[in-house]
Amino acid sequence: MPQIMMETPSNTIFSAPPAAHENPFIQKIPTRAATDFAPASLGLRASAFLVDYILTLLVLGVAISIATVCKSAFPTLANWIVNLGYLATLLFVAWNWFFLCVRDGQRIGQRLVGLRIIRTDGAMLGYRTVVLRHLIGYPLSLLCLGLGFLWMIIDPKQRGWHDKLAGTLIVKG
């Protein structure tokens, strides 16, 4: 069987394949120093959180509404719909709060408000950083009646305890 040989122009520049540790599906954001960005205010951060919270409740609310309509005629189906609603809500939270944060540095609410999570050392966010920030840092920030979140008011870079723990900063843009 003859092989087909294709000629390429000698002035073509080929890019090297991604390194083994790089994920080719993750959008590369140009790295800039954390000092190049304006920190986001507490009000902007709260509004982005509120949008994410409303979207999360909307997913569950739709499922419960459908189950309520079906409950009298199909009680077993209604229970399944509610359970699927809980599962869909859990998957939405994982997608929004973890996958999107690692991929783009933004949750849906942050994207709508115009905020981005960056690391203070300029490196890309990873799952380790996002898990540290959201699953460990948020509960610690809530421990003393939310003092970890209110800390943003007196911090010059507007960082809460969860940001300091994970080495992150919320910026405009």
Sequence spans of domains, the chain: 37-172
Query: Which of 15-24, 46-55, 84-93, 121-130 is predicted least confidently?
Result: 15-24
pLDDT of residue 111: 97
Higher pLDDT pick, 147 / 3: 147
Report residue 29 CA to chain centroid gap: 15
Per-residue pLDDT of 73-102, as tens digits, reads: 999 999 999 999 999 999 999 999 999 999
Per-residue pLDDT of 9-24, as tens digits, reads: 444 444 445 555 555 5
Of the candidates 136, 137, 173, the one whose C-alpha atom is nearest the C-alpha of residue 152 is 137
Could you tell me the pTM of the whole model? 0.75
pLDDT of residue 10: 47
Residue 103 in this model has a pLDDT that exceeds 50: yes
Residue 158 in this model has a pLDDT that exceeds 60: yes
What is d(CA 53, CA 60) in angstroms, rounded to the nearest whole number?
11
pLDDT band at residue 144 under the 50/70/90 scheme: confident
pLDDT band at residue 32 under the 50/70/90 scheme: low
pLDDT of residue 25: 53
pLDDT of residue 24: 53
Residue 114 in this model has a pLDDT that exceeds 80: yes
The residue assigned the tokens 């380790």 is 128
pLDDT of residue 68: 95
Average pLDDT value over all residues in the chain: 85
Burial class (CB in 10 A: 0-12, 13-18, 19+), 106: buried
pLDDT band at residue 8 under the 50/70/90 scheme: very low
What is d(CA 165, CA 130) in angstroms, rounded to the nearest whole number?
11
